[in-house]
A and B are shown apart, each in its own frame.
Chain A
Amino acid sequence: MTSVNGLCSVPLIEAALNGKLPVTQEVTFQEHLETCEVCIVTMEKMAGGPEWCQETAMHLTKDELDEAAQGKDDWSEVDFTVEYLEPSDEPNVLGRLGGYDMLEVIGRGGMGVVLKGFDAQLKRCVAVKVLAPHLAHNPLFRKRFAREAQAAAAVMHPNVIAIHQVQATGRLPFLVMPLIPGESLQQRLAKRGPLEVVEILRISMQASSGLAAAHEQGLVHRDVKPANILLEPGVERAVLTDFGLARAGDDRTLTQWGVIAGTPNYMSPEQARGEKIDGRSDLFSLGCVLHEMATGRTPFNAEGTLALLKRVCEQHVPPPSLIRPGLPRWFDRLVLKLLAKDPADRFSSARAAAKVMEGCLAHMQDPSAAIPVEVADPPFPLRKMIWWAVGLLVVCAAAVGVLPEVLARSGFGAKTKADETKRFEGVQVLNEADIEDAVIEAEMQILDQGIKDLEGSLKESQTKTMEKRSP
């Protein structure tokens, strides 16, 4: 390859391929490429040749599955209406189902479709949740739908959605609930971003009370997330929906209910692992919701479902105040206690959690009210105070032995540090850097105190020596 102007050279092409040509040379070389077939062929060969180009094109060309993975799906409201609703003569009505006029589709999840219906007898609008057609074909799903809907209907609580009617037979099983005006917590977060602490506590306390009522009936929600918490305007009442529907009975694989078809951002570690779960799993999910209400983001995030589930199982959550400075320390503790990996480290029940949240709320409204002990700063340990008192006595008694005392003290400092660490682990500050900071701070305080004490005892011994001399 020879050229009069020296542009046909392999090193030059190589530099161009690596993006290492100076700008002026780059332009000249590009102009050269308009005409020089030899250089074009050489460059293409160096970039992998036509085979490589073909292979790349074949793999990178998007197909219909890529579109599907981007969230487009094949569900159609028209198809659903035509296929499953009885026709109605009324204009503005999609069709009829079980004696209700269906007005519009208001939501859709992995489990089914929610429609706005009109109850002509009672002259009121209702929300009708229909089991998804592809699940309704399966008798097992139908049976579970009925069983769980009935269980949910038995929970009577202001913070749990009421169930007016359960229709388990017929082509599509459905259940009828009151239509709650207002928005879901998910909608509110999308619109307004993170909430004030008082508001967070009010919502989570109510959600917790609702969960408690259900747990006491033996029902685990399994799908606590902002979309399932409705906020009634005016009274600011939080209402849990989708109760029990997500529950897979005693099955260990929850997937058969399509729970994971959505986002696993709020799933507990035991759920992610497919283990047996109880009400405390809901508390973990609620912890994720609290984290999101406070910081605007869920505690666990990753590209892809599997990576996300692994994080849920393994990644420790830093205190929310690191993301939003100014959050009270007790709030950090509250969230981290809910997010404990081991259910035994969370609150013992939703009832207990609600009580603590209520206490926090009382403290927010009246700072003189004590912070609930479960999330309060750990008290200064009595044992340590006794040790200090003993140390002080020793100093006083042995007025002359200042140096040995200092040595004794350094050993004592080490013990205190161990205590500190234990104390912080106890409240689940799981970020090691934080623990270290706290330990360092505590040690500095202790050292300060120690120096003051030593000064005090020195003065004392001086005075005593003076007294001895004076007579």
Chain B
Amino acid sequence: MSLTIKRLSKRYGTFTALSEIDLDIRTGESVGLVGLNGAGKTTLLKTIVGLIVNFEGEVLVHNRAANGREAKSHISFLPEDFSPPPYLTGYDFVSYMLRLYGRPLYRNNVDECAGTLELQQNILSKPIRTYSKGMRQKLGLMAAMLPDTDVVVLDEPLSGLDPGARMLVKDAFSALRTKGKTLFFSSHILTDLEEIADRLVIIHEGKKMLDGTPEELRSYSGRSLEDAFLNVIRPQRTSAS
């Protein structure tokens, strides 16, 4: 298993952000995390990458505690709405991230990855403060993909991207899957998830509501994935209709 989550609960005072979540993700699997705003998606992803350290339960990456150095060397993460240090150049930032993994920067690899995401090479030599939101998101994706870790965790990786860029990122994810990497990511856009994910995990109010393939989700409604998703998180909706 790449990722193992056992009875994970996280509380902020009296508010329960996650409640007894169990989840196993096999090596090479691509799993999408779906939920409404405030459902607990980001909290779950932050726990996996070691940003949240006060929780109940167990989170293991390759059978090692998620917030340990060994586990962290297997995992890369892209946070939601993230902005890289504005005064570094794109090359500097990617080099910084790679060196923290103990990996050298090969310009050819960086340029190739930038080309895949249609990020112009000359822009990488400029300070990040001159980048648009989409460019910063692409740079973050490069920083998450280039270290070549076994597990890639992404929080809303397609947000802030135009349709063309979304297509490129989905292609990049497909390439990662081909390489046998484990992908775990959240998104609001169910059609995108259907294209990229082998499995969907739906969480609502901190509880896991469904863990299955996109086809299994579809069985909750004859209409769209959105309709099926709403039927999963609000069962009374189904009985009413």
Is B truly associated with A?
no
